[in-house]
Every structure is written in C-alpha cells, then in structure tokens.
Amino acid sequence: MDQWTEYELYLFGNTMSILSNDDLIFLGKAFAERDEFYLVLPQHKKAAQLTFINIILTLIERKQLYYTKYFLNKLESMINYQDIFTVIFLTFLKDTLAYLKGESDDVMPMRDCIEMVEKLGNSTMAKLLETHLETFLDLYKKDWEFP
C-alpha cells in the first residue's frame, strides 16, 4: 500500500489475526515505512501506536520474537511524554520480551508494571496486561518443559 489512511489501518488492524506470519510482518513493515505522513494527526498517531502494540502482541503469541525488536523500535520512536498508555505498554512489552528470550529470569518487572497501572486507577488496562502476561507465560512454558 502506498498510503496508510484510517481505512487501511482499520482493515489491517482487523485482519491481523488471520494473516500469515510473513504477511503480518510484510504489511507491518510497509505500514511502518509509509505511515509518517499521517502521524501529525493526533487520532492517526494514536491508532498507529495501537497498531504497533497489536503487531508486537500478535508476534509474541505466534512465537516470532525475532521480529518484535523492529516494531518496538518504531513504536518507541513515535512516543512522547503525553503518550503514557503507550509508554506503559512499551515498558511491559520490553520486560516481557526480555523474559521470554531468556535475557531475564524475573517476572517481577512485568508484575510491578501491572501493579503501577492498577495504582494509577486503570484497572481495565491492568487486567489486560495481566491477561497477556499469563497467556504468554503459559504459551512459552510449554517450550521450556522437559519430557
């Protein structure tokens, strides 16, 4: 796609779950490379941040950790001090990926992040993060178990 308007972003976001890994990565990279024109629009920027978060979550669920760094870097490059939701989610994703890749053996940073979100009064987001964490721990635990 040459341009990623709200319509294309909506279509991509709603078809991520049925795309193959290769298609998700290809379209995600195409989006990342061609989206800058619209980032001056606050609503589009917010949608773009959510799209990157969802790409990263989907890649983790599909055990495609290698590609997450590219999308994490793209997400990180577009946030500022006003994007607290994205900053919190980015911190959670980085800590989770470090754990899943074996770079850390401690789940407390993720749990601390969830607790901080709860203390800030956003129980919905805290539950969302907790659900993702438990899903990832269960999903990857199977890979670590020995016969």
> Which residue type occupies 8?
E
pLDDT in tens, 36-70: 766 777 788 888 899 999 999 999 999 999 999 99
What pLDDT is recorded for position 36? 72
Give the phi and the psi of residue 145 in degrees, each rounded to 5.
-75, 140
What pLDDT is recorded for position 3? 72
Q: Which residue has the higher pLDDT, 96 or 2?
A: 96
Tell me the C-alpha distance between 117 and 119, whole Å.
5
The domain limits of the chain are 1-65, 79-147
Cβ-contact 19, 61 below 8 angstroms: no
What pLDDT is recorded for position 1? 63
Can you tell me the mean pLDDT for 10-30? Answer: 93
What pLDDT is recorded for position 80? 85
Is a pLDDT exceeding 80 seen at residue 145?
no
Q: Which residue has the higher pLDDT, 39 or 29?
A: 29
Tell me the C-alpha distance between 129 and 89, whole Å.
8
